[in-house]
């Protein structure tokens, strides 16, 4: 069992249905799971610029913008993130997603304004969207009814640290 499965009553889709040596899975059509797809195909629902409001466990809500785009000949997806609280406190990050050529798994690095060096987080697509595990937190991203939903919760207690809802302002 992987870290995506730990502390959950379910087993992640990654380990219950993927054949060996496959790459990322397209999130919008379960019949395509199990075959190799490109990052373009996999991330298509997320690509673009999103803006919205986040509810934070540590205080009041904040405005946020997230940009997902293909880069480096479609070998990586980059993510730019900016959150501004009402008092002006700002948090920024730059994420990089890529497929691990040896395992076919999804990897994510988030370089953030806190200055902590990133390690690769593991990710996978489930029927409910993208799931990432990083530093004891589970990140879930999904596009539902043309809205991007982003939730960060602790793995051990499943307490929400951030819940965001965003609308696309540009992109495909």
Residue 1 domain-assigned (yes or no) = no
pLDDT band at 127 (very low <50, low <70, confident <90, very high): confident
Q: 66-86 pLDDT, tens per residue?
A: 999 999 989 999 999 999 998
DSSP character for 17?
H
Q: How many domains does the chain have?
A: 1
Q: Could you give the angle at the alpha carbon of 93 between the alpha carbons of 90 and 96, nearest 5°?
A: 170
Q: 148-172 pLDDT, tens per residue?
A: 999 999 988 888 999 999 999 998 6
CATH number at residue 152: 2.40.128.20
Q: Provide the residue range defining the domain that includes 59.
A: 13-170
Residue 24 domain-assigned (yes or no) = yes
Closest by Cα among 128, 104, 169, 97 to 28: 128
Mean pLDDT of 104-108: 90
Enter the pTM of the model: 0.76
Alpha carbon distances (Å) from 129 to 91, 123, 126, 148: 24, 11, 5, 10
Whether residue 101 is predicted with pLDDT greater than 60 in this model: the reply is yes
């Amino acid at each position: 069992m992987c870290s995506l499965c730990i502390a959950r009553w379910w087993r992640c889709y990654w380990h219950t249905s993927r054949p060996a040596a496959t790459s990322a899975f397209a999130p919008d059509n379960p019949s395509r799971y199990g075959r190799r797809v490109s990052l373009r195909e996999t991330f298509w629902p997320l690509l673009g610029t999103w803006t919205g409001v986040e509810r934070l466990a540590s205080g009041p809500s904040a405005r946020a913008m997230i940009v997902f785009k293909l880069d480096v000949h479609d070998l990586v997806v980059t993510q730019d993130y900016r959150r501004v609280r009402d008092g002006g406190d700002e948090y920024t990050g730059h994420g990089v997603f890529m497929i691990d050529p040896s395992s076919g798994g999804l990897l994510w690095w988030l370089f953030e304004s806190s200055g902590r060096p990133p390690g690769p987080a593991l990710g996978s697509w489930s029927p409910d969207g993208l799931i990432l595990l990083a530093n004891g937190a589970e990140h879930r991203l999904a596009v539902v009814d043309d809205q991007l939903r982003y939730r960060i919760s602790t793995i051990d207690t499943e307490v929400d640290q951030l819940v965001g809802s965003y609308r696309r302002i540009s992109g495909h």
